[in-house]
Amino acid sequence: MPSVTGLRALVTGASSGIGAATSDVLAAKGATVLRTARTITGPSSFACDLAIDVSALASWAGDVDLLVLNAGLGHAGPFAAMPPGRIAELFTVNVVSQLELARALLPGMISRRRGHIVLVSSIAGAMGVADEAVYSATKAALRTFADALRLEVPAMGVTVVHPGVIDTPFFDRRGTPYTRRRPRPLPPVTVAEALVSAIEHNRPEIFVPSWLRFPARLNGFLPSVVRVFQRRFG
């Protein structure tokens, strides 16, 4: 899939942040973009709570060539202090609903021998982050799902995107603002442009910014060393 021009794309979580920026970049490159979020209006948009049901969304979208699974919830704070039901809510929105939508649309891609699925994970999905234990687990699940799906459908493109700190409403919605001086948040369009480039080059995994690949890989080889740095620097 060398170009996104002419593709029919469905982007979840498209009302703001990475989803909105990705939709705009795809449209600028000539893709037909369908946008969905819990509250969204406008042409080629479908308001849908993925945590409730994805069947209506899948029927509305029809055959798509590109599925960008970007919708997600965050939560920050000690795991032991999480309110009842919050764990299930995060897994439902961040994992179950995303996979159900992929399951609904993938057969059409397979039959047409044309398709690409993008899963927006997080650096927290490549290495655990303190006070984001459940969020980290949901994003790690997306990464492992992608690894397995590539083996099942080698003719399809599957890309995992690991953003770092991005300037979106995510932090306000999770209930805890981002207060660190470094790393500084990147604009959502930076992720969107890297995401679309990854589709065009059929890359299995990208990190934004790219230097995040180093600590993620180091965590795989020397996790004890990474834990020392995490405890010291957060």
Residues involved in catalysis: 135
Look at residues 206, 180, 154, 201 and name the one whose alpha carbon lies nearest to residue 18: 206
Bridge partners (DSSP) listed for residue 208: 163
Strands 66-69 and 45-47: unpaired
- Give me the residues paired with residue 32 across strands: 8
Distance CA 134, CA 200 (A): 32
Q: How far apart are CA 73 and CA 2, in angstroms?
A: 32
Q: What CA–CA distance (Å, rounded) separates 152 from 77?
A: 37
Helix, strand or coil for residue 158? strand
119 token code pair: 């899963």
Q: How far apart are CA 157 and CA 213, in angstroms?
A: 21
Query: Which among 68, 4, 78 is positioned nearest to 34, based on CA atoms?
Result: 68
* CA pair distance 39, 8, nearest whole angstrom: 21
